[in-house]
Amino acid sequence: MLLSELAARTGATLDGDGALDIVRMATLEDAGPGEITFLSNPKYHRQLAATRASAVIVAPDIARETALPKLVSGNPYATYAKVATLLYPHAAANPGVHRTAIVGDGARIAASAAVGPYAVVGARAVIGERAQVGAACVVGDHVAIGDDAHLYPRVTVYAGCVIGARTTIHSGAVIGADGFGNAEDAGRWIKIPQIGRVIIGDDVEIGANTTIDRGALGDTVIEDDVKLDNQIQIGHNCRIGTHTAIAGCTGIAGSVQIGRNCKIGGAAMIAGHLSIADGVIVAAGTGVMGSIDVPGVYTGIFPMMPHGEWKRVAVAMRRLTSLSARLKALERGAPGDEKGGEDA
């Protein structure tokens, strides 16, 4: 694709020879002729001068530092994403239902949709235009899958769940399994029926082996444009707000309300029945045990240090409670304090 066309279709400013034919993307270090690269992280600034790419994507304040033809953008990373989408378009599947697939009574599958080998589509399920259901997927009874949605192989969607338009679900994900609901009685557990659904909005991406539990009474809701990484657990009756992104191995207990435009770092652990305001950033590995009402960046993990030093710090932290009590006693002016001070 011509560099000038890439500029026009991404909204970037062209600086240099627009007639260059760009065929691939590559890193600053590995790029060669016919390839375009990008610089968005200052950490890789030094590699710009040495790159052998035919063209680069850079911010306006960096543009003068290279004579290479370039796309100039205020957000080079987003422009890189747009260029990559143009150079590596998603492959369309051949429409139709594979002869080995099983389709339940009353299911409605659009003529332009594709259902792969050994997939199972339940009774009265609805699969929209150009949707793709990969090999060995299981789509339960009464499930609705929107137009242009893509389920990679071995995705399981339990009965009654709703998948929005243009949503992508990667292999191994399970949508709508029972939430972890049990009542304790006389030394035994009584399972609570989970009768809600999972409702997933438009333009959502759900990573491999991520699990989203159905609601106990109401629905678990993933709003539009949410991006979920691999191996995330979302408990029953959660609601994840529009444009929120959550990194891998995060665990979210039941009935959590996460606002719009939040960013949750990998391996964060979020306790149940709390809320997180719009625009909150939670650092990787942070434990969230209470609601967050004010936007900002929240971190709750102790920094890495050599093991010997960590042990000394851990001992000091164990003493904080007693030290705090002694300080409070001093602040109250405990008997003998003044005399002790004079003797000193």
Phi, psi of 336 (to 5 degrees): 95, -10
**pLDDT value, residue 334:** 61
Percentage of the chain exceeding pLDDT 70: 97
Report DSSP state, residue 97: E
Judged against a pLDDT cut of 50, whether residue 342 lies above it is answered with: no
**pLDDT value, residue 321:** 87
- The letter for the amino acid at 14 is L
* CATH number for the domain running over 3-87: 3.40.1390.10
pLDDT tens digits along 296-330: 999 998 888 999 998 999 899 889 988 888 888 88
**pLDDT value, residue 130:** 97
pLDDT tens digits along 125-143: 999 999 999 999 999 999 9
User: Among 172-176, 255-259, 325-329, 333-337, which stretch is predicted with the lowest mean pLDDT?
Assistant: 333-337
**pLDDT value, residue 331:** 87
**pLDDT value, residue 183:** 96
Overall average pLDDT of the 266-272 stretch: 98
By CB neighbour count within 10 A (0-12 exposed, 13-18 middle, 19+ buried), where does 133 fall? Answer: buried
Overall average pLDDT of the 31-51 stretch: 93
- Beta pairing, strands 220-222 & 239-240: parallel
Residue with tokens 């009542």: 183
Q: What DSSP element (H or E) covers 329? A: helix 320-331
- Residues recognised as catalytic: 236
Taking the C-alpha atoms of residue 193 and residue 236, their distance in angstroms, rounded to an integer, is: 12
And the tokens for 46?
């030094």
What is the domain partition of the chain in residue ranges?
Answer: 3-87, 96-298, 307-336
**pLDDT value, residue 3:** 97
198 contact partners, CB below 8 Å, separation of at least 6: 158, 161, 162, 175, 176, 212, 213, 214, 215, 219, 220, 221, 222
pLDDT tens digits along 197-222: 999 999 999 999 999 999 999 999 99
pLDDT band at 335 (very low <50, low <70, confident <90, very high): low
**CATH number for domain 96-298, candidates 2.160.10.10, 1.10.287.3510, 3.40.50.12280, 3.40.50.300:** 2.160.10.10
- Asked if 3-87 and 96-298 have one fold, the answer is no
